[in-house]
Amino acid sequence: MSDTTLNDQAWCLSALFSAINGVRDLAHTGHTDKGLLEALLPCLLQQNAAVISDYFGNPELLDKGRQLLTAMFQQDVDSEYVRYSVQLMHVEKKLSKNRALMAELLDGLADVRRQTSHFPPTHENVLANIASVYQRTASEAAPKIMVGGNEQYLQQQAVIDQIRALLLCAIRVIALWRANGGNRWQLMFSRKAILEAAESAF
């Protein structure tokens, strides 16, 4: 496997854990770093980028995800991160095999891209649209991902929309990870190579 492929996978896995961390922050505190959304939302809007970094915003904002990826491989991370990652990989796999839902997803994201010609990606209207796309596609592809946290925040529509947007970003980066040769066997048997790539990819 080439260094470039491993670096691309490291980018995607770091983005995945960054998204999961954002979901947890929102669920437990009602807030997440706006910069995290700015870093991750481009992956939903960008198509056929020349290099993996073009799917993301400021890479420094994905560093927390890289730290969490390292912690997971060292078995030093909250089990909730592992649960989310496993569930999201399952949803992505089911969604990718459902042609009707994939067509709905592509149409929905095309509408989001048109919307961002009038609003920034982090605008509440755009986030609500992305959340709706998530509901119509990923939520229908497999059992819903149960987000645990503080009910006070999980009942707020703005928080719900951001969580769903980040979950869809997570599913998107899993698809990018698979497209760059990622699979579960590598997570089991190629941890050292992935961690070394994560250290040098950014």
pLDDT tens track for 25-57 = 999 999 998 899 999 999 999 988 888 889 998
What's the rounded Cα separation, in Å, for the pair 57 and 18? 12
- Look up the domain containing 145 and give its range: 3-201
**How confident is the model over 125-169, as pLDDT tens digits?**
999 999 999 999 999 999 989 999 999 999 999 999 999 999 999
**How confident is the model over 78-109, as pLDDT tens digits?**
888 889 999 999 999 999 999 999 999 999 99
What's the rounded Cα separation, in Å, for the pair 73 and 64? 14
Q: CATH number of the domain at 186, please.
A: 1.10.3890.10
pLDDT value of residue 197: 74
Name the nearest CA neighbour of 40 among 172, 183, 161.
Answer: 172
What's the rounded Cα separation, in Å, for the pair 134 and 38? 18
Q: Which residues contact 59 (CB under 8 A, 6 or more apart)?
A: 11, 39, 53, 202
Tally of domains within the chain: 1
Assign 16 a pLDDT band (cuts: 50, 70, 90).
very high
pLDDT value of residue 202: 59
pLDDT value of residue 56: 92
What's the rounded Cα separation, in Å, for the pair 54 and 120? 17
